[in-house]
Chains A and B, each alone.
Chain A
Amino acid sequence: MTTSTAPLAGARQGRGIAASTVQERRRSPRDWRGWIFVGPFMAVFALTFLAPVLYSLFLSVFQTKLIGGTQFVGLDNYVQAFTDPKFLEGAGRVTLFLAVQVPVMLTLALAAALAIDSRRLAGASFFRIGLFLPYAVPGVVAVLMWGFIYSPRMGLTGNINDLLGADVLAPFSPPWILVAIGNIVTWEFVGYNMLIFYAALRTIPEELYEAAALDGAGQFRTVRSIKLPALRGAITIATIFSIIGSFQLFNEPNILRSLAPSLISTYYTPNMYAYNLSFLGQQVNYAATIAIVMGVATAVIAYVVQLRGMRREQR
């Protein structure tokens, strides 16, 4: 253990400002030894992710009826999905959610991470912890709390409306319910994303800042030319995870449904639709089809985001 210190210091000094992965690749052993480390993960991964995906693919080409049993139907379920107004409505809704909530949340998270990293904030660690705390709250509890706050008669919403003398805020109304859900999701995950960004900011070597200071760069230039480029990878990964999260939107609307059942339908999001199809409607095959269609759509969008992220980096 003690031996690690000396070579480490040497290695660190020898390392350039930007660690060159190309160099590392060239020097790394080119053989199967990596699987010693990756193998266990992939084995469990195959069992818990790949096998169910494949099973879903299998299920999606059959149809089971209460009367008449199971039969092979080829791609019928897929054809049905693309003409199913309920599925399309849900897919449209999560796309809208994705287009609005994800940028808002990530911008807030980015601003918070930059602010906390700026060293111009008194009690920065308090803010970091304070913003991250909601992530520690289980979804059930988060929705319970916000559901109460949203309540027009008993909650804070009611208090604010009384104060303003009008029903200004109405989270449980058709135009606002999606915003209300977006707010809960933002509240839960903004701190999580902030932490991803913040961790990336902390990996920027001090020398870069020193060099920038010597060049007379101001805060804004430092942010633009050092911090944001360093954050690209983190932004890309946070975006991808947020896209996946949006397309999988389930817990918040599903739990909030008990408070606003007429506003949140059983097919409010594709994931709710798939869940209700399989668990209430016993249409396991069609539910698997919906899951696959959404999975492919998510993968494609994540891929596009990834490509764009890379292109920017190369520029």
Chain B
Amino acid sequence: MTARTLTRVAAATAAATLLGAGLVACSDGGSPGGSPDGSGPGGGADAIEAALEAGGSITYWTWTPSAEAQVAAFEEAYPNVDVTLVDTGGANDNNIKLQNAISAGSGAPDVVQLEYQALPQFMIADSLVDLTDYGFGDLEPLYTPSTWASVSQDGIWGLPQDSGPMALFYNKRVFDEFGLEVPTTWDEYIDAGRALQAADPEYYITNDSGTDAGFGTAMIWQAGGRPFAVDGENVTIDLEDEGAQRWADSWSTLVQEDLVSQIAGWSDEWFAGLASGKIATLPIGAWMPGVFESGTQAGAGDWRVAPMPTYDGGEPVTAENGGSAQVVTQQSDNPALAAGFLQWLNSSDESIQVFLDKGGFPATVKELNSEEFLSHQSDFFGGQEINRVLVDAANSVGTGWQYLPWQAYANSVYADAVGPVYLDQGDINDGLVAWQEQNVTYGTQQGFTVGE
């Protein structure tokens, strides 16, 4: 190794350029043509029946705990169909892998789970199959309005699997110990936070570090904000509308008075805080009970569910926090069969029952209103009939919410914009303005017409 070897980097790189260019050219030669889109105009529900009868094999990506049991039940009902199940581990990895496969032009599954917020991103890139032609429009009455709205914009792009109407989970043992009332308004909530900190500084009313965009957007939604309006390629972003400000103002009080713990969600410390009650409440989606039961057994019996506090003490109103749908991709070789599997997966009683047995919170009206579901007493929640509270929440989700066509990206940079404000105990409105700027820049770069 000598100094002189390095002086030739430039020359060698040039040589390598030739060598590599040959390689790239070679690899281009054998690539298959574009992604197959052989569905043609679908033949309605008949096409699905025929495809299920004829059989074949499809691949299904998901991270739903009940998926394995659901696939097994499906294959029993339709022995000609072979479903390859791939556990993608979680929403983030799932989206990245799907995006990779779509960019590569091959490797995407036939059916895949997508969060509602990630759906527009794939929809607008023309990566999903419009299921209208398979007669999926007839299925609309099965689902809650808010979840159906999430999958149907200028077409039907999937079927809802679950939903996450927000409710207030609180630790009754801690509330009793410190003599607190369950808050019904956000002002009372802030007061409860103050009382808790005054009584014991180790206890926090909740945790939030300004890094969970799903939480932030849901809270804006609950406060009446509708910051995103999407009409094709025209997008309007206003993160300083009345609702957004209402949430940011009240939540800034919690942050500035150091009433919320800044523990990162889903960390071991977070689960420990929930188990011990040092994080005393969580405003979160209705899917949370299953997580409580699997992650915080030490806190069994302590927790209860209440409706979300409101700003004015009036009619209860809430928002969707999370939840996902399954979709059929354009890369599918057999979209009719994929649609058939999807229809069975998210609308058949058999499949939904498996989903419920694993602790899921459904998106289907029938299950949400069944007496069996409503009267289920949860041991973890001290025998409370929690589904009554959660179904009430599902029925009071504010309407008219839209996600950005690049929500997954937007959410990933939320922490960059809002997180620092929490650290400095500043005004959350400033963080939202910064987030808005990032989104306007990104949207414009991506070719959208973005208004503010």
Contacts and interface: CB of A to CB of B under 8 A. Distances in A.
B164 interface: no
Given A153-B269, A262-B262, A262-B423, A310 B448 contact: no
Contacts of A237: 1
B264 A258 contact: yes
Interface string A270-286: 00000010011111100
Nearest to A155: B269
Nearest to A313: B3
Interface string A260-275: 1111011100000000
A67 B423 contact: no
Given A50-B19, A153-B269, A280-B412, A68 B447 contact: yes
B413 interface: yes
Interface stretch (A3-11, A51-59, A245-253): A51-59
The 10 closest A-B pairs by CB, nearest first: A262-B419, A67-B447, A261-B211, A65-B447, A68-B447, A54-B20, A310-B3, A50-B20, A66-B446, A265-B416
Contact of B446 (A65, A262, A263): A65
Given A66-B405, A261-B264, A306-B3, A51 B24 contact: yes
Nearest to B424: A174
Contacts of A262: 209-211, 262, 415, 419-420, 422-423
B442 interface: yes
A282 B17 contact: no
Contacts of B210: 262
B209 A276 contact: no
A54 B24 CA distance: 8
Given A266-B412, A267-B416, A306-B3, A66 B423 contact: no
Given A262-B420, A279-B99, A66 B125 contact: yes
A234 to B, nearest CB: 11
B300 interface: no
Query: Chain B interface residue count: which class?
Result: 35 or more
Contacts of B422: 262
A100 B99 CA distance: 38
A154 B20 contact: no
Nearest to B17: A54
A221 B446 CA distance: 64
Contacts of A174: 423
A266 B416 contact: yes
Nearest to A237: B1
A192 to B, nearest CB: 19
B294 interface: no
Interface in B374-418: 405-406, 408-409, 412-413, 415-416
Given A53-B20, A284-B103, A307-B3, A261 B209 contact: yes
B284 to A, nearest CB: 17
Contacts of A154: 268-269, 272
Interface of A: 46-47, 50-51, 53-55, 58, 65-68, 148, 151, 153-154, 174, 233, 237, 258-263, 265-267, 276, 279-284, 299, 303, 306-307, 310
Nearest to A281: B409
A258 B100 CA distance: 22
Nearest to B272: A154
B234 to A, nearest CB: 10
Contacts of B413: 266
B356 to A, nearest CB: 30
24 contacts: A46-B20, A46-B23, A50-B19, A54-B21, A65-B446, A66-B406, A66-B447, A66-B448, A153-B263, A258-B264, A258-B266, A261-B209, A261-B264, A261-B415, A261-B419, A262-B209, A262-B210, A262-B415, A265-B415, A266-B412, A267-B416, A279-B96, A281-B412, A306-B3
A67 B268 contact: no
A283 B446 CA distance: 9
Nearest to A311: B3
Contact of B99 (A261, A282, A307): A282
B409 A280 contact: yes
Contacts of B233: 67
Contacts of B17: 54
Interface string B247-273: 000000000000000111011110011
A151 B269 CA distance: 8
